[in-house]
Structure 1
Amino acid sequence: MQDEATGLDRLARAMEHLDPAGLDYEDWLRVGMALKQAGGRPEDWAAWSRRDPARYRPGECERKWNSFRGSGHPVTAGTVLHMARRQGWREEEGQPPREGPAEELARYLRALFAPEERVGYVAECWQREGRWLPGRGRWDRTAGELIQALEHCGGDLERALGPLRREAGAWIRFNPLDGKGCKDENVTAFRYALVESDSMPIQRQYEAIRALQLPVACLVHSGGKSLHAIVRVDAADREEYRRRVDYLYEACRRGGLEVDRQNRNPSRLSRMPGVARGAGRQRLLATGLGQPSWQAWRAWMEAQKDGLPPFTREKPEGELEPLAPPLIQGVLRQGHKLLLAGPSKAGKSYALIQLCIAIAEGGSWLGFPCAQGRVLYVNLELDKRSCERRFADVRRALGLPCTHPVELWHLRGRSCPLDKLVDALLARARPGDYLAVVLDPIYKVITGDENAADQMAAFCGQFDRLCARLGCAVIYCHHHSKGSQGAKRSMDRASGSGVFARDPDALLDFIQLPVEELPGERAPAGRTAWRVEGTLREFPPFPPVDLWFEHPIHRPDREGVLAGLDPEGGRKHPGAGAARQRREQRRQSVEGAFAACAREGRTTVAELADHLGVTPKTVRSRLKEHGRFRVEGGVVERK
């Protein structure tokens, strides 16, 4: 018990040093997990989190706390101690003193200056139009002298710095001076630049600084609405300093950090950590963040120009983002890709038109419910009048009025390579305009060798681009390769490179069934029969679906007439007829086993399992499926 108390006390002291405003979301969660693992209370985590008003939400800590279920590799107090040590916390004799304002400022000075370098700072200020502005300040003291004064001031900053005005705070210059003034010409080393943004929430500023891997020597909370990042630039002279700051600020802009560009000069003032400002305090949040030097950061930034996203960290289960909702239930999620493949005359275009209408009206397609939303159908093959007529014919056959019209883009005779088509589409549409974009057919926009994997991978990459930029699903159709398809897996039937089958999130493949094998009265004239098999990335596989194509729509075979048919050169699928046959076989096996094992109308699950050569669990499942046996305490008898 004593060890637990000691561990919790060490954790509490480390948390006192850590500022929640200086942690990213994952590290903030780790503090809570470690506190729970150490036997702390959610109220302690909430009290510590309140120090960051930009992030703190009443009740959030308690909700997160209850979601921490533990794991085989829990986050412990050691994780938080390590985080605190990285930010300068030192544990001595097991009872380290809490870092006060003077120690905080001394740590800042040690991080930025050599002892003999002169430091410019401003404690006096004046007010104009309700705003406190800094005076000229001092520049005659070295960092060593200031640190010595801070070490002997007894925690009273005014003894080391002179009078301070709490309403205003205090300022410091982050580059060393020559002791003769505080202008740019007095700077002796162009070592650091200031990155500050007061137009974004504090948490977003911090996340952007971390994501950009800026080589931050010191990160200071201004006591107001901004962070001050003192960034290493290590320029040889003022001209190189200007170029490097330009590069730094442009990189920040591209990375989503809105930087105050007035802070470009090397003698600029920044907020002095440790000093009170209004109701808060200017705090040193961290030292040594990001890349270790300007050169390392510049190399890292140049590597990011490959256009690839940065690395991220695994999230706890309770913090995972929800999956995209289904567009086609059990088949495709919103924002994902679907390929419809089949031979000529399978009615693929009609099937896609039927799908467009199902999504537009919020209906079902081939038995799969669809989400409702706007759809764009990119017509690459039919003339305008024929395409519009097809939509009208399908709606009439479905009995669906044109309540929510599908948007059409007629490009027959104007088709172009897919990359150019995507460029044109992105110029016309905005994110969120469409739930789905359907391209029919893609052979009209394929460039390069259809059988070359590298060329088709680049081709399919355009679909990803469309999904990412518009936030929509992309649906397209492709044709089968030549020859008999029945013996092939569904994902191997599409013509060309295997990329076509492996790139989409869902592949639905149509293969024809020989209706001439049905008895005459069951083979209606004017209809063709098809089997749809799916290869899915996001959902479990579904049983093959048998369809009748009754021009102009496909209808599921709900009577099971087609279940026993075998595609040309293929094998029968486990459809409704085959499933019924297997159930009947299981029923008969249970009956036979019971007749062989029962004495006086009773037997046991163990005896049946031994007779059938299966496990007792399987026996119980078959008895339940049969429905006419009762099992109590392992004894089986007829109901």
Structure 2
Amino acid sequence: TQNSNPSRLSRIPGVMREGKKQYLVDTNLGFATWAEWHDWAESVNDDLPDAEPLSSVWDDMPSLAPTLIDSVLRQGHKMLIAGPSKAGKSFLLIQMCIAIAEGLNWLGFSCTQGKVLYVNLELDRASCLHRFRDVYEDIGCRASNIDNIDIWNLRGNAVPMDKLAPKLIRRAKKKEYIAIIIDPIYKVITGDENSASEMAHFTNQFDKIANDLGCAVIYCHHHSKGYQGSKRSMDRASGSGVFARDPDAILDLIELPLDNNINYRKEQVIRTELADEMLEALLPHYYQSNVYESDKSNFDKMQWHLRQAFTEEQLYKYHEKAGRTIDDSCMYSAWRIEATLREFPYFDPVNMWFEYPTHRVDTHGILKELIPESDMPPWQKAIDKRKSPEAKKETRSTELEIAFSSLTENGKEEITMTDLAEEMDLTTKTISNRIKEHGGFEKVLRPGKSSIVQRKEENDED
């Protein structure tokens, strides 16, 4: 056995060895149990960074991470975009992709140019690709740097975020992305979104992506259901409060109510801008000689210039085009973005129009004084409730049209009552009533399944 060697006997207390007496140095060393030793070994062998004294860097501070979106977000940081349905969040993120790829402004904020990955979890491949092309064309931008945009289409192949993150990191390791956009996160949420501990584990995956790739991670989430007025913008996203505190930047969208006064001012802006455009194109000499800079934003002055310079035929074409544009603008919705920022100073909310398929900043200040419906005092809500039945019916019909069109754009071949109920955040019974009221849709019953909703043929009778 291992103790058969006689030399071991010299290694016990009190025994002489080479003329020297052996002593017991100490007792009760080490740990009493394996579990205690294992905990100690884990503590000294973890991969966490050591604490550093502030004095060691006081005179040689590290450089801050480069800015990705000026005054909003740095590279390597995280941003959440939250909003209700029908806000066009995916279109807003596609605009952001294009702005980063082409080095353009996004909602008035300049973007650093570089490569970006758009992780599409919701749209079918064809719909997603067409949206990118549609937005490029609508903003009037040449696709000069589309090599900077990669799209990872995962509809039908999504996995929980803790499984997706390592796969994403492996694929993106050598791509040199400066931003990765994940749209939307409800498709990859791991665990209960109302559990703080489970959502902390979920959002840690975004940290891992940002740290391993050195890029910004931007993700999209929906608002919680119900009344939002008493909530701060950072607390409107659905689920745990972790979503409000984990990102370095939060941009929250809330809809603004439009009334007749706002619509009238919007029409004046459309007519003024069209007059400026047509005068410059058709009568450049008159335009340069007679139209002052201050005239270009003045409705009355631009109308006076039209009467002075245009022929009857040109005036007719102007009014015809203005009418079409104003009719199209009836489908516009108005939105306000409020920011919660960790790295940059607060900035005033950004008001914008969602002119499908793009969002455009309200540079004329039309929306500045509007109050979101959820923030209105009770007396103001009571006044708005006194709208005529006809106006209310028209609003309900328009909302149904928008929801149906949105689902169609997302590539759904068969739109069910349940689809519309989820899109509009209403019950299926309410959807059924609105279909009857609208008159242009019909339900096709399916035994044991949700009814399909489709447009009526033109020759169908109500």
**Shorter-chain-normalised TM-score: which range?**
0.5 to 0.7
Are the counterparts in 2 of residues 431 and 469 from structure 1 also a CA contact under 8 Å?
A: no
| Residues 609-624 of structure 1 aligned to structure 2 (within 5 Å) | none
Deviation at 1:469, TM superposition (A): 0.6
Pair 1:419–1:298, CA change in 2 (3 A): closer
Matched residue, 2:142: 401
SS class of match (1:400):
coil
Q: 2:200 aligns with which of 450, 454, 457?
A: 457
Deviation at 1:566, TM superposition (A): 0.6
Are the counterparts in 1 of residues 262 and 367 from structure 2 also a CA contact under 8 Å?
A: no
Matched residue, 1:307: 47
Deviation at 1:301, TM superposition (A): 5.6
- Which one-letter code corresponds to 2:196 in the other structure? A
Work out whether 1:370 is the aligned partner of 2:111: yes
- Which one-letter code corresponds to 2:192 in the other structure? D
Matched residue, 1:448: 191
Q: 2:353 aligns with which of 548, 564, 576?
A: 548
Are the counterparts in 2 of residues 485 and 568 from structure 1 also a CA contact under 8 Å?
A: no
Matched residue, 2:249: 506
- Give CA deviations for 1:357-415 in whole Å, capped at 9, x if unaligned: 10111111011101011000000011111000000000001111222221000100000
Deviation at 1:486, TM superposition (A): 3.3
**Structure having greater relative contact order (Cα 8 Å, sep ≥ 6):** 2
Deviation at 1:551, TM superposition (A): 0.7
- Which one-letter code corresponds to 1:478 in the other structure? H
SS class of match (2:96):
helix
Deviation at 1:307, TM superposition (A): 3.5
- Which one-letter code corresponds to 2:172 in the other structure? A
SS class of match (1:435):
strand
- Which one-letter code corresponds to 1:436 in the other structure? A
Q: How many angstroms apart in 1 are the aligned matches of 2:44 and 2:163?
A: 25
SS class of match (2:177):
coil
Q: 1:392 aligns with which of 133, 137, 146?
A: 133
| Residues 416-495 of structure 1 aligned to structure 2 (within 5 Å) | 416-430=159-173, 433-495=176-238
SS class of match (2:331):
coil
Work out whether 1:558 is the aligned partner of 2:363: yes
Are the counterparts in 2 of residues 484 and 568 from structure 1 also a CA contact under 8 Å?
A: no
Q: How many angstroms apart in 1 are the aligned matches of 2:371 and 2:181?
A: 31
- Which one-letter code corresponds to 1:307 in the other structure? D
Post-superposition, which runs of at least 4 consecutive aligned residues in structure 1 deviate over 3 A?
297-302, 304-307, 517-520
| Residues 25-424 of structure 1 aligned to structure 2 (within 5 Å) | 302-314=42-54, 315-405=56-146, 406-424=149-167
Deviation at 1:554, TM superposition (A): 0.7
Work out whether 1:521 is the aligned partner of 2:264: yes
Are the counterparts in 1 of residues 162 and 190 from structure 2 also a CA contact under 8 Å?
A: no
SS class of match (2:243):
helix
SS class of match (2:117):
strand
Give the TM-score of the pair, scaled to structure 1. Answer: 0.42
Pair 1:502–1:299, CA change in 2 (3 A): closer
Work out whether 1:569 is the aligned partner of 2:312: no
Range that drifts further, 519-528 or 366-375 = 519-528
Q: How many angstroms apart in 1 are the aligned matches of 2:49 and 2:161?
A: 24
Deviation at 1:428, TM superposition (A): 1.2
Pair 1:428–1:319, CA change in 2 (3 A): same
- Which one-letter code corresponds to 2:104 in the other structure? G
- Which one-letter code corresponds to 2:49 in the other structure? P
Are the counterparts in 1 of residues 262 and 366 from structure 2 also a CA contact under 8 Å?
A: no
Are the counterparts in 2 of residues 353 and 394 from structure 1 also a CA contact under 8 Å?
A: yes
Pair 1:516–1:539, CA change in 2 (3 A): same
Are the counterparts in 2 of residues 505 and 536 from structure 1 also a CA contact under 8 Å?
A: yes
Q: How many angstroms apart in 1 are the aligned matches of 2:105 and 2:366?
A: 22
Larger radius of gyration: 1
- Which one-letter code corresponds to 2:200 in the other structure? A
- Which one-letter code corresponds to 2:370 in the other structure? L
Percent identity for Structure 1 against Structure 2: 57
Matched residue, 1:246: none
Gaps of 5+ in 2: 1-17, 19-24, 26-36, 267-328, 378-462
- Give CA deviations for 1:512-539 in whole Å, capped at 9, x if unaligned: 0001253442254121100000000000
Are the counterparts in 1 of residues 81 and 219 from structure 2 also a CA contact under 8 Å?
A: yes
Are the counterparts in 2 of residues 340 and 477 from structure 1 also a CA contact under 8 Å?
A: yes
Pair 1:299–1:447, CA change in 2 (3 A): closer
Deviation at 1:299, TM superposition (A): 8.1
Matched residue, 1:537: 342
- Give CA deviations for 1:525-566 in whole Å, capped at 9, x if unaligned: 121100000000000111001011111111110110001111
Are the counterparts in 2 of residues 479 and 494 from structure 1 also a CA contact under 8 Å?
A: yes
Pair 1:331–1:520, CA change in 2 (3 A): closer
Q: How many angstroms apart in 2 are the aligned matches of 1:347 and 1:298?
A: 52
Give the TM-score of the pair, scaled to structure 2. Answer: 0.58
Are the counterparts in 1 of residues 116 and 177 from structure 2 also a CA contact under 8 Å?
A: yes
- Give CA deviations for 1:573-611 in whole Å, capped at 9, x if unaligned: xxxxxxxxxxxxxxxxxxxxxxxxxxxxxxxxxxxxxxx
Deviation at 1:300, TM superposition (A): 6.6
- Which one-letter code corresponds to 1:548 in the other structure? W
Pair 1:338–1:513, CA change in 2 (3 A): same
Pair 1:319–1:568, CA change in 2 (3 A): same
Are the counterparts in 2 of residues 486 and 511 from structure 1 also a CA contact under 8 Å?
A: no
Q: How many angstroms apart in 2 are the aligned matches of 1:304 and 1:364?
A: 48
- Give CA deviations for 1:250-292 in whole Å, capped at 9, x if unaligned: xxxxxxxxxxxxxxxxxxxxxxxxxxxxxxxxxxxxxxxxxxx
Q: Determine which structure has the larger helix proportion and give its number.
A: 2
Q: How many angstroms apart in 2 are the aligned matches of 1:501 and 1:517?
A: 35
Q: How many angstroms apart in 2 are the aligned matches of 1:552 and 1:510?
A: 16
Are the counterparts in 2 of residues 338 and 475 from structure 1 also a CA contact under 8 Å?
A: yes
Deviation at 1:433, TM superposition (A): 1.6
Q: How many angstroms apart in 2 are the aligned matches of 1:381 and 1:370?
A: 25
